[in-house]
């Protein structure tokens, strides 16, 4: 690949969990940090979010633990189709993705990964940045999150 991922861009480990309250409590005890705030996003129609090429509609409980130069994200999906529900149904609790900030190379990298046979599982846009979950479980053992900015 011409657009390789630089280790300096490693920014996150994201876990999908069945019970975010329990997971947040256990992780905070393990690190000796306060239990993170749990955000609840209700399902909404969002034109800036896709799942497997179609508009996505799902809810999510979400928490972030700052861990030095990167974050540990906890995701508890609702029952609607999403990359997180797909993972939980297939694997149970586990590492859904690792995230990398790649700056201005994001679009080139995503395009090159598609040419290499990786499918884009989820693409989301929000003010000032975006995130792309690359379906790489079979080849890499984990999905990738490619972001232009943290």
Distance CA 81, CA 102 (A): 28
Distance CA 110, CA 130 (A): 12
Task: Report yes or no on 35 lying in a domain.
Answer: yes
Distance CA 65, CA 90 (A): 25
Task: Report yes or no on 78 lying in a domain.
Answer: yes
pLDDT of residue 75: 98
Neighbouring residues of 55: CB distance < 8 A, sequence distance ≥ 6 = 45, 46, 47, 49
Task: Report yes or no on 38 lying in a domain.
Answer: yes
CB 77 within 8 A of CB 58: yes
Task: Report yes or no on 33 lying in a domain.
Answer: yes
If pLDDT is split at 50, 70 and 90, which confidence band does 150 have?
confident
| pLDDT digit string, tens, across residues 83-142 | 999 999 999 999 999 999 999 999 999 999 999 999 999 999 988 899 999 999 999 999
CB 135 within 8 A of CB 120: yes
pTM of the model: 0.92
pLDDT of residue 3: 83
Find the DSSP H helices in the chain: 20-31, 83-91, 106-115, 137-140
CB 72 within 8 A of CB 116: no
Task: Report yes or no on 1 lying in a domain.
Answer: no
Distance CA 5, CA 7 (A): 6
CATH of the domain at 114: 3.10.180.10
Q: Domain range for residue 139? A: 7-147
Count of domains observed in the chain: 1
Neighbouring residues of 128: CB distance < 8 A, sequence distance ≥ 6 = 149
């Amino acid at each position: 690949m011409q657009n390789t991922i630089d280790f300096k861009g490693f920014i996150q480990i994201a876990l999908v969990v069945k019970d975010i309250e329990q997971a947040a409590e256990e992780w905070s005890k393990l690190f000796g940090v306060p239990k993170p705030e749990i955000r609840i996003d209700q399902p909404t129609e969002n034109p800036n979010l896709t799942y497997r090429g179609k508009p996505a509609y799902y809810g999510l409980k979400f928490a972030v633990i700052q861990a030095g130069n990167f974050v540990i994200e906890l995701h508890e999906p609702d029952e609607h189709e999403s990359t997180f529900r797909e993972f939980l149904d297939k694997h149970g609790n586990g590492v859904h993705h690792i995230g990398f900030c790649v700056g201005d190379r994001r679009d080139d990298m995503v395009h090159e990964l598609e040419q290499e046979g990786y499918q884009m599982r989820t693409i989301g846009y929000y003010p000032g940045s975006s995130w792309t979950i690359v379906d790489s479980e079979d080849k890499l053992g984990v999905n990738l999150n490619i972001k232009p900015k943290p």
